[in-house]
Amino acid sequence: MPSFLFISLLLSFIHFSFSLPSIGVTYSTTTTTASPPPDKISATISTLKIPNVRLPDADPSLIKAFAFTNTSLFLSIPNPLLPAVAANRSLALRWLYRHVLPFYPRSKITLISVGNAVLDSVAEQDFTPYLLPAMRNLHLALHELGIKKIPVSTTFSFFSTITTAFPPSSAEFQQPAGDLIIKPLLQFLEETNSSFLINLYPYNLYRLNSEIPVGFALFQDYPFNFRDDLVTGVRYFNLFDMMADSVLTAMAVMGYESVPVIVAETGWPSGGGEAGEVEANEAYAEMYLKGLVRHLKSGVGTPLKKDGVAEVYVYELMDHEGGNNNNNKVKGRKWGILTENMTRKFNVEISSGVKNYGLMGIFLFLIAIFYAFP
What are the tens digits of pLDDT across the range 143-176? 999 999 999 999 999 999 999 999 999 999 999 9
pLDDT above 70 covers a percentage of the chain that reads 84
Going 104 to 154 to 272 to 207, the CA torsion angle's sign is negative
| Ramachandran bin of 353, using left for φ above 0, alpha for ψ from -120 to 50, beta for the remaining angles | left
Cα separation, 72 vs 56, in Å, equals: 14
Of the candidates 178, 297, 303, the one whose C-alpha atom is nearest the C-alpha of residue 238 is: 303
Helices marked H in 18-65 — which ranges?
Answer: 38-47, 60-65
DSSP letter (8 states) at residue 160: G
Query: Please, which pLDDT band fits residue 17 given cuts at 50, 70 and 90?
Result: very low
Of the candidates 227, 248, 358, the one whose C-alpha atom is nearest the C-alpha of residue 300 is: 358
C-alpha dist (Å) from residue 70 to 46, 52, 57, 104, 147: 9, 9, 20, 12, 18
Cα separation, 278 vs 182, in Å, equals: 36
Cα separation, 229 vs 236, in Å, equals: 8
What are the tens digits of pLDDT across the range 19-62? 688 999 999 987 556 789 999 999 999 999 999 999 998 899 99
Q: Select the more confidently predicted residue: 370 or 340.
A: 340
C-alpha dist (Å) from residue 67 to 1, 46, 338: 42, 12, 23
Q: Domains, the chain, ranges and CATH?
A: 20-319+329-372 (3.20.20.80)
Q: Is the pLDDT of residue 92 over 60?
A: yes
Residue type, 225: N
Q: Is the pLDDT of residue 318 over 80?
A: yes
Of the candidates 205, 355, 200, the one whose C-alpha atom is nearest the C-alpha of residue 292 is: 200
Cα separation, 352 vs 158, in Å, equals: 25
C-alpha dist (Å) from residue 210 to 92, 203, 213, 214, 266: 45, 12, 8, 9, 20
Q: Omega into 184 within 30° of 0, i.e. cis?
A: no
